Every structure is written in structure tokens, then in C-alpha cells.
Amino acid sequence: MELTKNITLGVYLPGETSIHRLDPRTKIIAAAILITLLLFIKSYQPYGLFMLFTIAVIIASGIPISYALCGLKPMLPVLVLMWFFQLFLYSAPEAEVIVSWWIFSATDAGLHMGNLITLRVFFLFTIITILTLTTSIVSLTDGLESLLKPLRMIGIPSQELVMTMIIALRFVLILAEELDKIIKAQMARGVAFDRGNFIQKTRNLFPVFLPLFINAFKRAEELIVAMEARSYTGGKGRTKMKTLHMGRVDRSAGVVIMLFTGLIVYIILSVNPQI
Amino acid sequence: MPIEVTGLCHSYKKGTPFENKVLHEINLHIADGEFVGLIGPTQSGKTTLAQHFNALFIPQKGIVVVNGCNTSEKNADLISLRQQVGYVFQNPDYQLFASTVGEDISFGPKTQKLAAGEIENRVRAAMEQVGLDYDTFHRRDIFALSGGQKRRVAIAGVLACHPQILILDDITAGLDPRGREEILGVVRKLHREEKITIIFISNSMDEVAVLAERIILIDQGRISAVGSTREVFKQSDKLRTIGLELPEIMNIANKLRACGYHLPSALLDPEEALNAISSALEEGRVGN
């Protein structure tokens, strides 16, 4: 049993490709643009193009495609559930009923909506995975900090917010590792996590989540002490050893993203002229 | 209840860019009633190997048979196997979750669906085995216990399942000398009096030297040496190249020998060493 195997979120896969070498700010902005684009796509053709683009980026970054997508495995039940919800609960006025069962009925509009939303979450997850797989945690922090700096002027403690976010991201993997150990410790005492009815299965979660939470709080406390021991006082007066530079790769990436955005917008408009 | 391992291999994160092969073609046999020391540097694969013995890991390649139960078989009863093979983890915080000591120890027997009276008997017996007084401790808050006490509760929680094999994964790490002595006393008693097979994983060569009858030495996922404790510790050069220290007693004996005193090789027991050293000192240096 190995829980951490399929976790790709927050994992960094070191490499020397141009995607790895991009300035973290470029990657973050590009990811933000792509995610925004996702919100406007309401038909399948742009998603086809999106898929090609995503695959191209994954190949360019040297990440094995199977690995980039294996993080989705644990999310699959959620995606399927979401698809069913949309299928049965969403309806438009002139929708045509495809299947009907008891009080539920699935319409073609619901099917379309389910597909769109599932695709959207799929791409959202993939984009963020590519970002974290190709960007080390330090440069991700630096990039986000630098991008959010203007917020300081209106009194938002951006540096602290970024630090909190990054720590949360790091803890995904740490907590998964701990969960793995705790589950094993309880399995060794005879808990059968895959047996029993719903109530028994829920009850089995107590011996897992209690130690997990207690250990998480302990860890958080230790982390605070460790940070304070190294004189962390928040963002004020902090300087950087490495300053960020945008270079030729970043300019070319900018051009690629702009071309891609233009193409997607063109397809959206030509498919759905009323938007 | 013997353990038979043939051609066992294991990789972490198999099929990802982080794939890490930790066990290579392991073959070993552990007989009933043995006290085996499983030693090796950190990351050598000790824990991964031991977790195959109670089916927390199912072999990716190779076969593990414990008491006639092949863990790779589809209809193998792994739940009952895990009750027969107890596993105490290094960190008791991963295991303890109930609010009181008694409740936590009774968790294992409860999952076996035993009668209430039997559960109480088992909790009482297990607490006695690890040297915790039932009446004083069974209502104690777990999180108010000391590190040594927590570890004893963790061991009791496993013993209450009545295992025939007990795997102890570095259970003395981070304890003060007194807590360590107490825990080791418990382990020794379990082996001598209850005749439980014990697989003792440790980074402390001193502990292993005194306790274990046989040693399995692992290095980089391969078995590097197997034999009686004395035989394995005689290969001091091998241990040193792997990055393990000799037991302190052997270090002292080696130094004395280098000074010209006549001492038998591979002294392990403190008492035996004391006698040998004092008689060697009386004899004086060789050649004097």
C-alpha cells in the first residue's frame, strides 16, 4: 500500500527543459490566463485545441504523460460524481430529455454541461500540476510574492499570504505520508478499511484522522518554532539572494500564450457568435 | 509460525519518474521462536521488508509465506494474518488515538469482535506484560503520558491482539536511557516467557548485540550478511564500510587487543565481556 504514489500536486520534478527555465512569474501568469480561458469555453472544439496544447507543454517539459495524469486518479470519483450531478440536475428550458428515471431526468443540456464542467476541472488540475511539477517551491514562492507585491500598498500582507499558501501546498505530501503510516499502524491492529457497511467504514476513520490531526498540529507548531528560530518575522525587510529575471525564453513563451489565446477566442467566437 | 521469503523485490513510486528500487531479490527464512535482529543503515529497506511480513505490503515480485499463508494469493486472509503478526511502529503517535490508555489497548481486540469480558482480560494482561499497572493507568489520558509510557501502551495495544510474531520497528529511538532499558526489559521478557518470535529492527548495535540470537544485515536493499549475532559482528570491516558501528563492548575489546591484551573475538554480552577483560588485565599483555 502506498498512498503518496499518485500525488503530483505540490511535487517538483527537477529538469533542464525550457519550461523549467521559464521565470516563475511567466508560468504563473500563463497558468492564470489559461485557467481564465477555460471559464469561457462552452463548446468542444476549443477543448480539442486545449488538449493538444496541454499535451505539447507536457512533452516539452519532459514529464512522462502518464505521471502528469496519475494525480487525477484519486480525483476520479469526484469528477464522476460531478458529471452525474450536472447530468441529472441541470436543465435548460428547451432541453430534450434523453433518459428519465423516477423523479430524475437527464437532458441533453445536462449532458453537455456535465461534460464541460468535468473537462474544465480536468484541465484546471492538469495546468496546476504542470506548474508545480516544473517549478521548484522556492521559485514558486518568489514568483507569487513578486506578482502580489502591489497588494501591499492597499494593506494586504501578500508575502505572508504566499508563505501560507506554499506551506499548505507542501503539507499535502507530508500529510499524505503521515496518513500512510497511520493507516498501516491501524491495519496492523486489525482494522479492515475495505470491509463493513457505511457506518463501520465511517467509524474506521476515527483511528486514522485523530492521530493525523494531532500530528498535524504538532508539526505546525514545530514549524513555527523552527521559522522563528531562524528569525522569520514576515515579509518586512526581507531581501532576496536570487532576483528574478525574464529572458528570451519568457518572451517566446509570452508570444506562444498570446497566439494560443487569440486562436481559442477566435474559435469560441466562430462557434458561438452570440457571446 | 515460520516466515519464508523468496525472490522479493519492491520499488516505491513504481511507474513514476521517482521510482526507487528498495528491495532486490531478498531470500530469507525466520523460524518459530527466534529473536532476529534486522539491521542496516537508514534507507536500506529494513522497514519495507518487515512490512511485507504482515501484508502491509504485498510483494510486487517474489513470494512471502507466513505460517503457510501466501500473502500474494487473492483469497488470503490478510486480516487474520495481521492479528498473528503484530507490528509496533517507531512513532507511537501514529497508532494511539483513543482518549484513555485502556480504550486504546482494547481497540485491537474489539476489531476481532471478542466478548467484553475477554477484551478486558486481554487489556489487563497486555498492560501487565509491558509493566503498566491496570488500575493506575487504564483510565489515564494518553496524551499526558511520557514518551516511554506511550511506547509501552503502543506495544500493549499490539500484544492485546495476541500475536505469535512481533515486529518491533526501532521502538527505542528517541527514548532516554531509562525508558530504553524498560522497553528492552519488556521485549526480553516477551521472548523468554511468552516464546513470541521477535523481529527487532534497530539502529543501535548495542541493543541488537545483547538481545538478538540471529542477525539479518541489509544494505541497499540486499541481504549483506545472515548468521548468529556473533558471526555477523565478527565481520567488523563489512559493518564499517556499510556505515554501521560495532557494539561499544566490541570496540573496547578491540582497542584492548590492539594494546596487546589477549581477548576472545566477538564479545557481546556485558557480563561475559567484564569477566574476559578482567582476566585479561590480570594476565597482562601478551609477551610481557
pLDDT tens-place string over residues A103-159: 777 788 888 889 999 999 999 999 999 999 999 988 998 899 899 988 888 988 888
Nearest by CB to residue B97, choosing from A70, A192, A211, is: A211
In a domain, A148, yes or no: no
**Is A5 within 8 Å of B97 when comparing Cβ atoms?**
no
> What are the φ and ψ backbone dihedral angles of B110, each rounded to 5 degrees?
-65, -40
Q: Which residue in chain A has the smallest CA separation from B52? A: A1
**Which residues in chain B are contacts of A214 at CB distance < 8 A?**
93, 143
Residues A32 and A96 in one domain: yes
Residues B36 and B4 in one domain: yes
Q: Could you list the residue range(s) of the whole structural domain that residue B271 is in? A: 247-288
| B246 secondary structure, DSSP code | P
In a domain, B43, yes or no: yes
User: Which residue intervals of B45-203 are DSSP H helices?
Assistant: 46-53, 78-84, 101-105, 107-111, 116-129, 134-137, 147-159, 177-194
Reported as a single tens digit per residue, the pLDDT across B238-276 is 888 998 888 888 888 888 888 888 887 777 888 888 888
In a domain, B220, yes or no: yes
Residues A213 and A250 in one domain: no
**Is A211 within 8 Å of B82 when comparing Cβ atoms?**
no
Q: d(Cα B194, Cα B208) in Å, to the nearest integer?
A: 20
**DSSP states of A164-175 as a string?**
HHHHHHHHHHHH
Q: Beta strands B3-12 and B61-66: pairing type?
A: antiparallel
Other beta carbons within 10 angstroms of residue A111's beta carbon come to: 19
Residues A115 and A8 in one domain: yes
Reported ipTM: 0.84
How many domains in chain A?
Answer: 2
Residues A28 and A121 in one domain: yes
pLDDT of residue B29: 94
Residues B211 and B237 in one domain: yes
Reported as a single tens digit per residue, the pLDDT across B148-195 is 889 999 999 999 999 999 999 999 887 888 888 888 998 999 999 888
Q: Which residue in chain B has the smallest CA separation from A203? A: B111
Nearest in space to B197 (alpha carbons), one of B47, B84, B92: B84
**Is A211 within 8 Å of B54 when comparing Cβ atoms?**
no
pLDDT of residue A272: 67
Contacts 24+ apart (CB under 8 A), A109-117: A110/A86, A111/A87, A113/A86, A113/A87, A114/A82, A114/A83, A114/A84, A114/A85, A114/A86, A114/A87, A114/A90, A115/A44, A115/A83, A116/A41, A116/A42, A117/A82, A117/A83, A117/A86
Residues B224 and B282 in one domain: no
In a domain, B287, yes or no: yes
Q: Check if the beta carbon of residue B202 is closer than 8 Å to that of residue B151.
A: no
Tens-level pLDDT at each residue, chain A (275 residues): 677 777 887 788 888 898 999 999 999 999 999 999 998 888 888 899 999 999 999 999 999 988 888 888 888 888 999 998 888 887 777 777 777 777 777 788 888 889 999 999 999 999 999 999 999 988 998 899 899 988 888 988 888 888 888 888 888 888 988 999 999 988 888 888 777 778 888 888 888 999 999 899 999 999 999 999 988 887 777 777 778 888 888 999 999 999 999 999 988 888 765 54
In a domain, A103, yes or no: yes
Residues A15 and A129 in one domain: yes
Work out the minimum CA distance from A5 to partner chain B, whole angstroms.
5
Give the E-state strand segments of chain B in sequence order.
3-12, 20-30, 35-39, 61-66, 69-70, 85-88, 165-169, 197-201, 214-219, 222-228
Q: Could you list the residue range(s) of the whole structural domain that residue A177 is in? A: 157-240
pLDDT of residue A100: 75
Residues A25 and A125 in one domain: yes
Positive or negative, the CA dihedral A235, A237, A240, A244 is: positive
Residues B240 and B255 in one domain: no
Nearest by CB to residue B89, choosing from A64, A185, A190, is: A185
Residues A178 and A273 in one domain: no
Residues A275 and A233 in one domain: no
Q: d(Cα A37, Cα A188) in Å, to the nearest integer?
A: 48
In a domain, B39, yes or no: yes
Q: Check if the beta carbon of residue B126 is closer than 8 Å to that of residue B156.
A: yes
pLDDT of residue B260: 84
In a domain, B231, yes or no: yes
Interface test with B, best of A189, A204, A208 (most B CBs within 10 A): A189
Q: Check if the beta carbon of residue B183 is closer than 8 Å to that of residue B170.
A: no
Residues A40 and A18 in one domain: yes
In a domain, B224, yes or no: yes
Residues A69 and A179 in one domain: no
Residue B288 has pLDDT above 60, yes or no: no
In a domain, A80, yes or no: yes
Work out the minimum CA distance from B21 to partner chain A, whole angstroms.
14
Q: d(Cα A265, Cα B9) in Å, to the nearest integer?
A: 52
pLDDT of residue A5: 78
In a domain, B177, yes or no: no
Q: Identify the band that residue B1 occupies on the pLDDT scale cut at 50, 70 and 90.
A: low
| B163 secondary structure, DSSP code | -
Q: d(Cα A152, Cα A235) in Å, to the nearest integer?
A: 10
Interface test with A, best of B97, B107, B119 (most A CBs within 10 A): B97
Residues B224 and B255 in one domain: no
